[in-house]
Structures are given as C-alpha cells and as structure tokens.
C-alpha cells in the first residue's frame, strides 16, 4: 500500500504537470498538490487491494491482483482527472483499454521500452501463477553468511535436498580468491550449503530442472557461471524477479519480494503511463 | 525445516550403525567440507558435516553442523558398498582411500597422518576433536 501511495503521488504530480520529472513540477500550484494527494490515495488503495489479492494465494492470485489493482487505479485516476486518462485493465503480459477498445501486449509493434518492461514484469506474475498450478514445491533460498564470497542454494524445504546449489566438483584447489574467480571447473548442482539466512519461496521443479540441465553442461567459474547466477536464473524462471549479482544481493531482493516489495505487481504503471 | 543443518557445539554422539564419509570439492580458498552419514536399519540416522578452515599447511579451525533427521531422505547402495544420496557419493571406510578425489590427501594429512588409514567412525572422532 505504501509503495502504491508513493508511486500514485508521483503519477498524480506527473499528470498535473505533464512531465514525469518531479524537479520540473510547479509546486506553487494547488493542482500539483491536489493531484499528488489524490494520486497517493488512489495508488495506495489500489496497490493495497492488488497486494491483498496476490498474497491470498488463490487461483491465479498474482494475475488477479494486477487486474484488480490496475482497474481500480485507472478508474480512480480517470475520476481524479475528470476523464483525462483512460480506463484500462492489465492482465500482466497484456492489457485492455476500455476507452479505446484496444488490446496492448508484450512486444506489440509501437510499444515504448517502458511499456515492454511493464508487460515483461507482468508476464513474470503470469509465469508465477502458472508455476503454482503445474508443480508447486515448498523451498528455501539459503545464503551462506560466513564471508563475502558466500553461497546461494535453493533447497527442498521438506527433504533438505538441494534443488539448485551450483558449485565445483573436481580436485582443483584454488589457493587465492583470484583462483576461485577464474578457474574453470567441473560442476555440480548439489554443492554443500549452509542453512543460514533462509527465505521461504514456492518453486516449480520443472523450471529448476531446466536450470539443472544447464548445470550439467556448464563449467563452474567463480566469476561467471557460479552459484548465484544459477540460483538467480532458477528464480527468474519461477517468476520471481531478483538481482543475482552476489549471494547477498540475491538474498536481499528475494527477501524483498517475499515481503511484498514486488515490481511485477506495479507493472501496470509502466504500461499505462509508459507511452 | 525438516532437512536443514544446525550448528553444533557439543561433542559428537556417535550413534550405532554403519558410517560413510563424503566430501565436497573446495570452492573457497582455505575451506573444505567433509561429512559423515550413519545408517541404521536402512535409515539415515545421522548426517554431520564439518567445515575445515586451513592455511599454510595447518588446520586453523573446524566447525560442524548436524542435519536434522528427516524420514524422507533416501539413498541407493552400490555393489562396492558405497551409497548415493541424490548425487552425493558416500564412501565406506575402505573405499575412501581409492575415492574419486575432490579434496587432496594432503588436507586430510593435516588433520592426522593416519586419517586415510582408519575407519570412518575414527575419522569422525578425529575431526570432532578439532571442534572448539
């Protein structure tokens, strides 16, 4: 709800001033403040509404959450601006504009970059829903908290067996961090993990198996094909957006996702206002 | 958290049953993981993994974590007596010396010059003696 209110305030200010850059807004105008307050209200309510649907865990909950939030948001903003904005509904990878009677979707000719980013993020929510229907497995992302190098592993919550814990599998012994980073080594997807910094997630084993298949042909190298990249890819294929630059950043972004800080649920802002 | 590991400080309780040893390749410089699985009545009754930190040919410190028991863990037995848990190969006392090496013998010799010549239960006790 807080994120929705913040984005809504920015959205309202943008509409009042015709530019997304808040440094160019006319803060002496009552219209700016009125639209910002109205936008915060609409954004907060619609974001909270969408978030509550998505977190309910029901059938296609994430897609329904986006649909509910986007429709409520566009109706609210249309009312706030006296019909200057269109009423639309987003379904993640696609949207429908009621005023123009027009469908928009990922990769449609004429889309702006922002629109495609929005539809792409929305598609992740669709993917997440499909994954939960086809094969849902309770898992935990563990991050080794003992040092900077760390280690990321996605583990079956019930058995404790690694689903994706990419690491080396040969006798080469790195004597320095440079050696760790640069040696090409045989790999395994079942490397040792430490049960620290747990983040509970739901994953689809088919998506994980696809990455394990990749792990069978890729070598391990500390700086490129490493534990965090493979865990990150597994999560992306499960519809969980994340940043897999280091185990620590992967932990932070995945934790944020599970706490509801989810850019995919606000993807409709990009598709509605990214033209 | 049926299958996760928890850190242990107390001395190890060696349980009844046949003990197997496993190792992981060395990922981080100066750190090796070696573990022990004990089977009793076809059930995995103990799984202890040691983290061995070393430098300049000497053991710096050793920590251990015990995996909480889970009845869902399965294993398969090979003709030579070794077992597989998933893709993790666990060796009998005798087979460990002719293993597919992921950790060099030199590191085991830092623990004890006899490490490669004794049984898995004794190897477990040797490593446990380093845990503070």
| pLDDT value at residue B70 | 64
d(CA A160, nearest CA chain B) in Å? 4
Q: State whether residue B49 sits within 8 Å of chain A by CB.
A: yes
Cα–Cα distance, A191 to A168 (Å, whole number): 7
Which residues, 6 or more positions from A33, have their beta carbon under 8 angstroms from its beta carbon? A27
In this prediction, residue A49 carries a pLDDT of: 84
* Contact check, Cβ <8 Å, A185/B25: yes
Rounded CA separation A150/A193 (Å) = 10
Strand partners, B85: B88
Average pLDDT, chain B: 87
Indicate the pTM of the whole model: 0.83
C-alpha to C-alpha distance for B1 and B12, rounded to whole angstroms: 22
* CA nearest neighbour of B75 among B12, B116, B22, B16: B22
Per DSSP, which regions of chain B are E strands?
5-8, 18-23, 31-40, 43-55, 58-67, 76-77, 83-85, 88-90
pLDDT mean for each 10 residues of chain A (275 residues)? 76 82 86 86 84 83 91 89 88 92 92 91 91 86 92 92 94 84 92 94 91 95 94 94 95 93 81 71
> Is the pLDDT at B1 greater than 50, yes or no?
no
Q: From the candidates B25, B29, B50, B52, which should be mutated to test the interface with A, based on the most A CB atoms within 10 A? A: B25
Beta strand B83-85 with B76-77: parallel, antiparallel or unpaired? antiparallel
Between A155, A180, A189, which is nearest B28 by CB?
A: A180
DSSP 3-state assignment of A172?
Answer: coil
Nearest to B5 among A149, A189, A194 (CB): A194
Contacts of A167 (CB under 8 A, 6+ apart): A151, A187, A188, A191, A192, A220, A227, B24, B25, B27
With beta carbons under 8 A apart, name residues in chain B contacting A222.
27
Complex ipTM > 0.95: no
Our CA-based measurement puts residue B101 at a distance from the nearest CA of chain A, in whole angstroms, of 6
Q: Which of B53, B48, B46 is nearest to B9 (CA)?
A: B48
Identify the pLDDT of residue A165. Answer: 97
Sort B84 into a burial class: Cβ within 10 Å, 0-12 / 13-18 / 19+.
middle
Q: pLDDT digit string (tens) for A68-88?
A: 999 998 898 888 888 888 899
Domain boundaries, chain B: 5-128
Q: Spell out which residues of chain B touch residue A191, defining contact as CB-CB under 8 Å.
A: 24-25, 27
Task: Kindly indicate the confidence band of residue B2, based on its pLDDT and cuts at 50, 70 and 90.
Answer: very low
Rounded to an integer, the average pLDDT of B108-120 is 95
- Quick one: CA torsion of B103, B105, B108, B114, rounded to 10 degrees? 150
Judge residue A109's burial from the number of C-beta atoms within 10 Å of its C-beta, 0-12 exposed, 13-18 middle, 19 or more buried.
exposed
The 10s digit of each residue's pLDDT in B37-90 is: 999 888 888 899 999 999 999 999 999 998 766 666 788 999 999 999 888 999
| Residue with token string 């983040």 | A199
pLDDT at B125: 94
User: In the predicted model, is pLDDT for residue B102 greater than 70?
Assistant: yes
Give the nearest chain A residue to B49 (CA atoms). A192
Q: Do A160 and B103 touch (CB under 8 A)?
A: no
Which of B24, B31, B85 shows the shortest CA–CA distance to A191?
B24
């Amino acid at each position: 709800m807080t994120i929705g209110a913040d984005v809504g305030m920015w959205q309202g200010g943008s509409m009042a001033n015709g530019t997304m850059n808040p440094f160019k807004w006319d803060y002496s105008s009552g219209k700016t403040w009125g639209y910002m307050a109205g936008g915060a209200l609409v954004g907060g309510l619609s974001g909270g509404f969408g978030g509550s649907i998505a977190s309910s865990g029901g059938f296609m909950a994430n897609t329904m959450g986006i649909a509910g939030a986007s429709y409520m948001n566009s109706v609210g903003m249309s009312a706030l601006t006296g019909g200057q904005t269109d009423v639309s509904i987003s379904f993640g990878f696609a949207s429908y504009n009621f005023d123009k009677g027009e469908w928009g979707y990922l990769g449609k000719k004429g889309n702006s970059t922002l629109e495609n980013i929005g539809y792409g993020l929305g598609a992740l929510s669709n993917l997440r829903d499909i994954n939960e229907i086809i094969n849902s497995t309770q898992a935990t992302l563990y991050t080794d908290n003992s040092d900077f190098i760390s280690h990321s592993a996605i583990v079956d919550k019930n058995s404790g067996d690694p689903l994706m814990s990419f690491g080396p599998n040969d006798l080469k012994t790195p004597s320095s961090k440079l050696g760790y980073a640069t040696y090409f080594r045989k790999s395994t997807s079942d490397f040792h993990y430490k049960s620290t910094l747990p983040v509970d997630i739901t994953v689809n084993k088919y998506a994980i198996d696809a990455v394990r298949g990749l792990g069978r042909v890729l070598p391990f190298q500390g700086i490129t094909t490493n534990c965090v990249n493979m865990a990150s890819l597994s999560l992306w294929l499960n519809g969980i957006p994340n940043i897999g630059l280091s185990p620590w950043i992967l932990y932070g972004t995945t934790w944020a996702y599970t706490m509801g800080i989810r850019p995919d649920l606000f993807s409709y802002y990009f598709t509605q206002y990214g033209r | 958290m049926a299958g996760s590991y928890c850190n242990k400080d107390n001395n190890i309780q060696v349980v009844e049953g046949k003990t197997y040893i496993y190792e992981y390749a060395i990922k981080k410089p100066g750190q090796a993981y070696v573990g022990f699985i004990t089977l009793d009545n076809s059930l995995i009754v103990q799984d202890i993994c040691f983290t061995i930190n070393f430098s300049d040919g000497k053991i710096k410190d050793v920590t251990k974590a015990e995996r909480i028991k889970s009845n869902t863990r399965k294993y398969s037995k090979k003709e030579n007596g070794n077992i597989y848990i998933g893709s993790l190969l666990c060796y009998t006392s005798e087979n460990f010396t002719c293993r597919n090496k992921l950790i060099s013998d030199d590191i085991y010799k830092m623990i004890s010059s006899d490490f490669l010549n004794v049984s898995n239960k004794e190897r477990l006790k040797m490593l446990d003696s380093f845990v503070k």
